[in-house]
Amino acid sequence: MTAPVPLTPQDAVQARADLARRALPLLDLTDLSDTCTAAAVAGLCEKARGSGVAAVCVWPDFVAGSVRTLRGSDVRVATVINFPEGGEVVELAVADTLATLADGADEIDLVLPYRALMRGDAETARAMVLAVRDACAGRLLKVILETGELEEPTLIERASHLSLEAGADFIKTSTGKTPVSATLPAAEIMLEAIRAHADRPAGLKVSGGLRRVEDAGAYLALADRIMGPDWASPETFRIGASALHADLVRALEAAP
């Protein structure tokens, strides 16, 4: 086998910029910090408006302000429900969903009641996804599996299939609030589940711990291998991150 020809420094810079150009439109620019403020979210929205990202993802209290700031742009507003605990009160999750949709949210990122699934109670988890799916009334629903807590491949696979069968438009790796967030092995299991449900197209969102262009590139390469090189788009693949944005911009600015 012929050894690959090493990239020249200039080619490496260009390759990094090409990857950043591909990843940037897939970004859900996110601030779910415990100290988040309205001013910080306004700044996040202005950054999103000027960057061509897919969406911002903010706490429910900041949805209405984000919608106002982003009016006239193509950037969507996502928010989180049942976050980050993954509780089991379906009525509360539905009420919170309806309130954020009334404020103008375009997308709902719902934490699956993953602890219920871990103790063998799949019906509680399924019931919440079904109920929030109905409440979304056509708006995009991403279901957060919290794969770092599920940990076991069989549980991640079960959570993926359950969520897709219950109507998730996306399955998402993590809240970013646990010691283990997105991992390539978990994403691979989730992509295989998405491929198995080809009769109902769905997407993948990876979230937590992605900070460099190369991190995004590893997940995109995985998606290319499993789903095909033309699959990943804002309609099928998202990256939930804030720290990553700065490295994507640096890579683009460094291109010749």
Q: Please identify every residue annotated as catalytic.
A: 109, 172, 205
CA–CA distance, 87 with 115 (Å, rounded to integer): 8
Residues in the chain: 256
The identity of residue 143, as a single letter, is V
Tokens in use for 45? 């929205």
CB 9 within 8 A of CB 222: no
Q: Judge residue 99's burial from the number of C-beta atoms within 10 Å of its C-beta, 0-12 exposed, 13-18 middle, 19 or more buried.
A: middle
CB 120 within 8 A of CB 94: no
